[in-house]
């Protein structure tokens, strides 16, 4: 495939950029500060990085922690006010006269896993994130289900968490999305911490909770056990609904492979397939899934519309 794609993984504080060639993973990663509150400065930063490339890219592909509204093309990206509510694709294409592809970071993660990681050889890949929040992306045939943006795969939101676990009531905690009872409120780092505080009346960081669980301490072990009981049903339902045969897990908590294995052990018996091989598995696409997924989506887009 001719040409290279300039890939970006953009967060509220930093921009990571790398070039990918011929469908391969992106190469060397450069880092820049994100002009998070100044729209013109943001556009200028992306343009300057592109113009500094030794060869003009065939396209720009961007992964960011936001959603593209498929009806309007406008972004919903709370941590970068400079581009929230804007049509970033249109703005950048007009400025640089090249194709621009934008996707949610969880969607990019899911595609990276399907193309380069644990999802290779699987038709339907459901990538799940256990990080600051709980997210996901859904891929079929190595392509995103929601190519134009939107909310497919966002299993972390919706009032679905059980109201009891381990024989005791569990309240529906309010979620930042405006709904109560989301998986996001009891899993991921802050969710695990919230659950621990509710159960034991003490504040403990998510890494310390997992460390205590590994050490066999009673309180952290109860917190993790309760978390697994609360999230396993919703995740099993999502797997049944999508037909996914592999569920790569990413994000900070998923770096604890024992935690991922515990999720798999809790979820697999609740699915209709009840497959024998591991279903929820650690991510395997490498240290830059946002860039890798953006690259894969970019090459797919160019192949579908070479002009």
Count of all residues that appear for the chain in the document: 307
The residue whose two tokens read 């890939």 is 7
**Structure tokens that stand for 158 in this block:** 């919706």
Q: Which of 161, 281, 292 is nearest to 227 (CA)?
A: 161
Residue 94 pLDDT grade (very low, low, confident, very high; cuts 50, 70, 90): very high
Q: What is the pLDDT of residues 98-115, one digit of tens each?
A: 999 999 999 999 999 999
Residue 2 has pLDDT above 60, yes or no: no
Out of 51-60, 70-79, 196-205, 284-293, which region has the weakest mean confidence (pLDDT)? 70-79
Give the integer Cα–Cα distance in Å for 37 and 68.
19
Residues 6+ apart with CB under 8 A from 108: 9, 63, 137, 289, 290, 291, 292, 293, 294, 297
Looking at the DSSP assignment, which residues form a beta bridge with residue 58? none
Residue 1 has pLDDT above 50, yes or no: no
**Structure tokens that stand for 241 in this block:** 């609904």
Question: Once rounded to an integer, what is the mean pLDDT over residues 200-224?
Answer: 97
Q: For the chain, how long is the longest CA-to-CA vector?
A: 62
Give the integer Cα–Cα distance in Å for 41 and 234.
41
Residue 307 pLDDT grade (very low, low, confident, very high; cuts 50, 70, 90): low
Question: Once rounded to an integer, what is the mean pLDDT over residues 33-40?
Answer: 94
Residue 259 has pLDDT above 80, yes or no: yes
Could you give the residue range(s) of every CATH 3.30.420.40 domain in the chain?
Answer: 4-107+287-304, 121-282
What's the pLDDT score for residue 66? 86
Which strands sit side by side in the sheet containing 14-21, from one edge to the other? Answer: 30-33, 14-21, 4-10, 59-64, 100-104
Q: What is the pLDDT of residues 152-181, one digit of tens each?
A: 889 999 999 999 999 999 999 999 888 999
In 3-state terms, what secondary structure has residue 143? strand
Can you say whether residue 281 is alpha, beta or left, with left for phi > 0 and alpha for psi between -120 and 50 degrees?
beta
For residue 82, the number of C-alpha atoms closer than 13 Å in the C-beta half-sphere is: 19
Give the integer Cα–Cα distance in Å for 201 and 223.
12
CB 280 within 8 A of CB 128: yes
Fold designation for 121-282: Nucleotidyltransferase; domain 5 (3.30.420)
CATH superfamily of 4-107+287-304: ATPase, nucleotide binding domain (3.30.420.40)
Whether the pTM exceeds 0.85: the reply is: yes
Q: What is the pLDDT of residues 9-21, one digit of tens each?
A: 999 899 999 999 9
What's the pLDDT score for residue 216? 98
Class of residue 93 by CB neighbours under 10 A (exposed 0-12, middle 13-18, buried 19+): middle
């Amino acid at each position: 495939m001719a040409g290279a794609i300039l890939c970006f993984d953009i967060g509220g504080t930093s921009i990571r950029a790398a070039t990918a060639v011929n469908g391969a993973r992106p190469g060397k990663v450069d880092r820049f500060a994100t002009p998070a509150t100044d729209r013109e400065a943001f556009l200028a930063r992306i343009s300057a990085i592109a113009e500094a490339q030794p060869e003009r890219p065939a396209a720009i592909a961007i992964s960011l922690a936001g959603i593209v509204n498929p009806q309007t093309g406008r972004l919903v990206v709370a941590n970068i006010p400079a581009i929230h509510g804007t049509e970033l694709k249109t703005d950048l294409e007009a400025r640089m006269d090249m194709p621009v592809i934008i996707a949610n970071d969880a969607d990019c993660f899911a595609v990276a896993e399907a193309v380069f990681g644990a999802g290779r050889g699987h038709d339907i890949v459901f990538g799940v994130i256990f990080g600051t929040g709980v997210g996901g992306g859904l891929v079929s045939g190595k392509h995103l289900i929601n190519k134009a943006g939107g909310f497919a795969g966002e299993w972390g939101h919706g009032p679905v968490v059980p109201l009891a676990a381990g024989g005791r009531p569990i309240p529906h905690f309010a979620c930042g999305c405006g709904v109560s009872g989301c998986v996001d409120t009891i899993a991921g780092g802050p969710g695990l911490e919230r659950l621990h505080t509710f159960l034991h009346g003490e504040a403990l960081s998510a890494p310390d909770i997992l460390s205590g669980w590994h050490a066999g301490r009673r309180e952290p072990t109860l917190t993790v056990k309760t978390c697994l009981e609360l999230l396993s049903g919703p995740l099993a339902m999502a797997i049944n609904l999508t037909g996914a045969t592999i569920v790569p897990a990413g994000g900070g908590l998923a770096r604890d492979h024992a935690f991922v294995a515990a999720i798999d052990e809790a979820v697999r018996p609740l699915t209709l397939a009840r497959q024998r091989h591991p279903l929820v598995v650690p991510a395997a696409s490498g240290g830059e899934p946002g860039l890798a997924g953006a690259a894969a989506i970019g090459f797919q887009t160019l192949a579908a519309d070479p002009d």
